[in-house]
A and B are shown apart, each in its own frame.
Chain A
Amino acid sequence: MSARPNSRSRIRLLAGGLLASAVLTMSVLAIFWTPLDPNRLDVLHRLNAPDVRNLFGTDEFGRDVLSRVMVGATTSLSVAMLTVIVAIAVGSTIGFLTGFFRGWTDRVVMILNDTLLAFPGILLALGLVAVTGPHAYATVLALAVAFTPKVMRVVRGTVLSLREREYIEASRAMGNGPLYTLARHIVPNAVAPIAVLATSMFGWAILMESALSFLGLGVPPPAATWGNMLATARPYLTSAPWLSVIPGILIATTLLSVNLLGDSLRDWLDPRM
């Protein structure tokens, strides 16, 4: 009975790790090499079904779908990575400082934070894109603004529970300054919840970026992303179904790997769950 959850956890970690490394390898490889030029138009080979030359077929402009999903992986993963880095950096800095020092700044920041949390994340992103216009960096900004309040809340909550512990009092009693206590004793203990959150946020970022791009409000063409490839595939659902199937498989694979890795991380950090 007790051996089973362990082996399940190991299978999850293994499967998640394999899928993640496959997607990661693909996206890194695409920086240096793709089978064909992802943006080269070839009217003679429009909407070709998958064959030896184009393993995943070609799109409505005769571009190689395999090469495009490869560069799409680079775009989607970089946008998601950047989003998570920005949201974690900004959100945890604010969360650590306000949670540790409290006071009226904390109250004001909390009110602002709760206001942002009152919007569904994707709606906040849509509203910001309405102001900035679609662009890769606008996507990062919009998603980071949507995610930061969540990070802030988790970090602040963790700090609030940690700062009442005895070892924090001990650190103060030893004459350590507040910033030293924060950096030396609180931050290291908040790393675990932040890591779990960062993993799930990476998945949300992939999903929301592809949704925004699918709506034509994320990364604009001709740059390839999985989302905007699916958007242009809709009219060719009958004549070229592979255009709708392949980018979706990649989004789903990436999300699955992130979810599996996230679950294993949670198991490892919080065995009670």
Chain B
Amino acid sequence: MIGFALKRILAAVPTILLVSIAVFLLIRSIPGDPAEIMLGEGADPASLAAFRAELGLDESMPVQFMRWAARVLHGDFGQSIFLHQPVAVLVWDRLQLSASIILVAVGIAAIIAVAAGLYAAWRQDRAGDIAVVTLATLGLSLPSFWIGLLLLLLFGIKLGWLPVVGYVAFSDDPGRAWQYLILPIVTLVVVEVGVLTRMARASAVEVLRLEYITHARAKGLSEWTVLFRHALPNAFAPTLTMVGIVVGSLLGGIAVVETVFTLPGLGRLIVEAIYARDYPVIQGCLLVIAVAYVLVNLVVDLLYPIFDPRIALE
């Protein structure tokens, strides 16, 4: 078990290294002088010259990468050209908002999905199953930004229950902050619950066919015990992997939801940085999101054996 965990953790190191090289090369592939790209067109010649020396532009690419990586490891992601703040501070601030929305939404979606998936598998091919599958397929087909707009239209404008524009930080006023966060969270739940439910149902169907379930029923255990104590843990493992994938795709995809609800999150930051050609910020966001994605998958891999111990024995 510990050997398995160590192996997975060590395997993530080269991935993170390669991901950083990819981000570095992507930003370097922008035509023009890298120093000017990173400091903005209005930078004065003296600081440009100093920054060129810091980047080591006369040295080979691997050396330049090492210098950059060394700065990143010290928490220096550079300075935003337009917001005049350290990129590390900006990204950290915005990440907290996006990450909390994503984690709460995916948590709720996963609970609903596992319950619905298990129920559907139990009622396989009956009315309840058909209803769950139909709803899940519908949910799978709804773009998040459209659901967001419709929810705003209904709860913000028609009913006037919730604010339509703006944001209050959770640290300033938790009570009011929730009013701004409910709709984005509901949007993400609606959009992601479909794919998770389908996954949960498919794995529950597989599990309910197995002999140990028949055996448990033959022992006279109640359906409730069979479903929740015997089927659920095994059926949950593949869904957990899907949860990791969903969290990762949301780290990138949350930009559209933050745009609809005018939330100052990480997704919004990267999109605005792309508009403004604020390359230090783009680079920082790409790196942080990609590394976060690798780490989320790592956590999922480490949790997996808890639900399916066979994995760790391989």
Contacts and interface: CB of A to CB of B under 8 A. Distances in A.
A115 B18 CA distance: 6
Interface string B249-281: 111110110011000000000110111000100
B149 A120 contact: no
B9 to A, nearest CB: 15
A247 B164 CA distance: 21
Interface in B125-173: 125, 130, 137-138, 140-146, 149-150, 152-153, 156-157, 164
B110 interface: no
Interface stretch (B19-27, B55-63, B91-99, B210-218): B19-27
B85 interface: no
B226 interface: no
A61 interface: no
Contact of A126 (B29, B145, B152, B271): B271
Nearest to B23: A127
Contacts of B303: none
A120 B289 contact: yes
Contacts of B130: 8
Main secondary structure of the interface of B (DSSP, over half): helix
Interface residues of B, number: 51
A5 to B, nearest CB: 6
A215 B271 contact: yes
B290 interface: yes
B149 A252 contact: no
A3 B279 CA distance: 58
Given A120-B289, A127-B23, A233-B149, A255 B271 contact: no
Interface in A85-137: 111, 114-116, 118-124, 126-131
Contact of A119 (B27, B145, B153, B290): B290
A214 B259 contact: yes
A173 interface: no
A215 B152 contact: no
A259 B138 CA distance: 9
Contacts of B290: 118-120, 123
Interface in A231-260: 231, 233-234, 237-238, 241, 244-245, 247-248, 251-253, 255-256, 258-260
Contacts of A129: 274
B117 interface: no
A260 B137 contact: yes
B29 A131 contact: yes
A59 interface: no
A44 interface: no
Interface in B1-47: 15, 18-19, 21-23, 26-27, 29-30
Contacts of B286: 119, 123, 126-127
A234 B293 contact: no
Contacts of B78: none
Nearest to B22: A115
A169 to B, nearest CB: 27
Contacts of B242: none
B282 A130 contact: yes
B249 A234 contact: no
Nearest to B290: A119
A174 interface: no
Given A207-B143, A238-B157, A1 B293 contact: no
* The 7 nearest A-B residue pairs measured at CB: A248-B146, A123-B252, A255-B141, A122-B252, A120-B252, A256-B141, A115-B18
6 contacts: A8-B125, A127-B26, A211-B253, A237-B153, A241-B157, A251-B143
